[in-house]
Amino acid sequence: MKTWLNKRFEIYQNLIMNDDLNSLIIQMRNMVIETRERGGKMIFAGNGASNTIATHASLDFMNQLGIPCLPLNDSSVITAFSNDFGYDSCVERFTKLHANENDMLVLISSSGMSENIVRAAKYANGVGCGIVTFTGFSSNNYLKTLGDVNFWVDSNEYNIVENIHMMWLISVCDLIAFEEKEIIGTHGRNL
């Protein structure tokens, strides 16, 4: 067991930092600041565990940084849109109803091939909404070609990809919170 654990954490250690990571985090940080300054909002979406990551990140960016955030996590919205328009159109419809050129869309998909997430990115590109993607698996995944900033984990294991996505995403929030520490209290932005 110790050998397996040591190897597992070595994998995380090797994947967590890459040559482009600091640049990507700074680029996303700049997008978040610009979105907030424009009076825009952040929209978050993913499937399964990626949806959980999106919801968690949405809370942190909203509470810590005071930026309006909208996660696609309401089961009645997801099931209604999926029932009426098809699951592949669900996130796209949500994006059509909420996104504009002042906003940014954060899309999380381990494979980068989820049709509902890809469609949302295509729509957001068409209206000038900023897009940040978090993917894994193949370096040639389709979602990775659609974002303004694209984070990619070089792994085919869901748990590894998802855990690193969470770390990277929250690191952006933590960086801004550190920069704005004089207006951010223990439990969030002072209002």
Helices 158-179 and 2-16 sit at what angle, rounded to 10 degrees?
50
Residue 70: its pLDDT value, please? 95
Indicate the burial class of 129 (C-beta count within 10 angstroms; 0-12, 13-18, 19 or more): buried
Residue 21, pLDDT above cutoff 80: yes
SS3 148: coil
Residue 55: its pLDDT value, please? 97
Q: How many Cβ atoms are within 10 Å of 133's Cβ, its own excluded?
A: 25
Q: Specify if 32 maps to a domain.
A: yes
Instruction: Quick: pLDDT tens for 111-138.
Output: 999 999 999 999 999 999 999 999 999 9
Instruction: Quick: pLDDT tens for 33-65.
Output: 999 999 999 999 999 999 999 999 999 999 999
Beta bridge partners of 71: 44
Residue 15: its pLDDT value, please? 85
Could you report how far apart the first and last alpha carbons of the chain are, in Å? 48
Instruction: Quick: pLDDT tens for 135-165.
Output: 999 999 999 999 999 999 999 999 999 999 9
Give me the number of domains the chain comprises: 1
pTM (2 decimals)?
0.94
- Site of tokens 């940040």: 132
Residue 17: its pLDDT value, please? 82
SS3 19: coil
Instruction: Quick: pLDDT tens for 70-99.
Output: 999 999 999 999 999 999 999 999 999 999
Q: In this structure, what CATH number is given to the domain that contains residue 30?
A: 3.40.50.10490
Distance between CA atoms of 81 and 114, rounded to whole angstroms? 16
In this structure, what is the dihedral angle of CA atoms 31, 35, 38, 41, given to the nearest 10 degrees?
170
Q: Specify if 89 maps to a domain.
A: yes
Q: Specify if 93 maps to a domain.
A: yes
Q: Specify if 82 maps to a domain.
A: yes
Residue 19, pLDDT above cutoff 90: no
Q: Specify if 137 maps to a domain.
A: yes
Name the residue range of residue 126's domain: 18-183
Distance between CA atoms of 162 and 54, rounded to whole angstroms? 11
Residue 170: its pLDDT value, please? 96
Mean pLDDT, range 11-15, rounded to an integer = 86
Q: Specify if 191 maps to a domain.
A: no
Distance between CA atoms of 90 and 169, rounded to whole angstroms? 23
Q: Specify if 12 maps to a domain.
A: no
Residue 171, pLDDT above cutoff 80: yes
Q: Specify if 188 maps to a domain.
A: no
